[in-house]
Amino acid sequence: MKVRSRKIDNKEKIEYLDALYTAVESLRSREEVKNFLRDLLTEGERIMIGRRIVIAKRLLDEEPYEQIIREMRVGPDTIMRVHRWLEDDVGGYEKAVKKLEKVLESRQEKINRAYVDPFSFEGLKKRYPLHFFLFNLFDRLNKK
């Protein structure tokens, strides 16, 4: 039986929300969060939450509404709702989006550092380490 949130008294609401927030807070890794959300929400719900976060990021980047509507195929009501939440005094969306940007930047930096052109001298040294043993040895000694 479906119960409307308006019909639940405040004491119960606080209890239920506290259980949710505590459960999320107790998760330590990205994998734990992913598994928890997979068990808790349907795929459609997870996608819709992710879309709202992306919309919030794009609004904070000051992208025009029309561009977001066209590229993400969302309605203006959704964008207005996310915009209203961003203007809310709580600031949860903004904080989450800023942390998201930091994580995405660090991920991109790792990818950029890991990529070595396979035909460059560095790429050859990485691919054939025994052929370049002396070069690698000197490089390590110079770094120290």
- Dihedral (CA of 37, 63, 91, 6) sign: negative
Residue 107 CB partners (closer than 8 Å, separation 6+): none
pTM across the whole model: 0.67
CA distance 79 to 55: 7
- pLDDT tens digits, residue range 2-39? 778 888 889 999 999 999 999 999 999 999 999 999 99
Integer angstrom CA distances of residue 43 from 24, 35, 37, 96: 18, 12, 9, 21
Separation between Cα atoms, residue 127 and residue 138, nearest integer Å = 17
Look at residue 118 in the predicted model and tell me its pLDDT.
Answer: 82
Residues of the chain with pLDDT under 70: 89
Q: How many Cβ atoms sit within 10 Å of the Cβ of residue 82?
A: 22
Tokens of 119: 């035909």
**pLDDT confidence of residue 23:** 93
